[in-house]
Amino acid sequence: MKSLLFHEIHQKSRLSIKEVNDALKEFELYSSQWSILFCLKQFGAMTQKEIWQYLNVEAPTVTRTIARLEESGWVFREEGHDKRARIVHLTPFAEQNSPEIEKRIQHVEEEMVSSLSEEEQDQLLSLLKKIGQ
């Protein structure tokens, strides 16, 4: 029964988002917001297009989430050389706080997979990657 597989993926996706949201509560952030901050932390300032391509979501999703991050002071947007594009930067506040948040999230994620060995984690990742290719 293949449905079980996708049912399980769906469940675990929701579960992990829930746990991450819970851990982010004290920073007044949500998981999707963190995914963008994480992205910027890793690669530096990016255009919105680069962000949604990396995260593999649609452009409007990123527009919305960045708007919220901007309102709450985590990012700011600069007009690019190409005036259509907007380059997103972390604010100093975000630069300062993101290491602690990252540590917290990493801990949550490690807890969630603690019942799997390192080898099983690798295996799981590589099996997931094979889906839909």
Partner DNA sequence: GGAATATAATTACTTAGGTAAATAATAGTT
Partner DNA sequence: AACTATTATTTACCTAAGTAATTATATTCC
Neighbour-count burial of 37, counting CB atoms closer than 10 A to its CB (0-12 exposed, 13-18 middle, 19+ buried): buried
Is-contact 77 68, C-beta < 8 A? no
Binding of a copy of itself by 38 (CB under 8 A)? yes
Binding of a copy of itself by 67 (CB under 8 A)? no
Binding of a copy of itself by 119 (CB under 8 A)? no
The angle, 0 to 180 degrees and rounded to 10, between the axes of the packed helices 31-43 and 2-24 is: 80
Which is nearest to 111 in space by CA: 25, 23, 37, 34? 23
- Closest CB to a copy of itself among 20 and 51? 20
Interface residues toward DNA, by CB under 7 A: 10, 14, 18, 30-33, 35, 47-49, 56-68, 77, 80, 82-87
Interface residues toward a copy of itself, by CB under 8 A: 2-17, 19-20, 35, 38, 56-57, 105-106, 109-110, 112-113, 115-116, 120-121, 123-125, 127-133
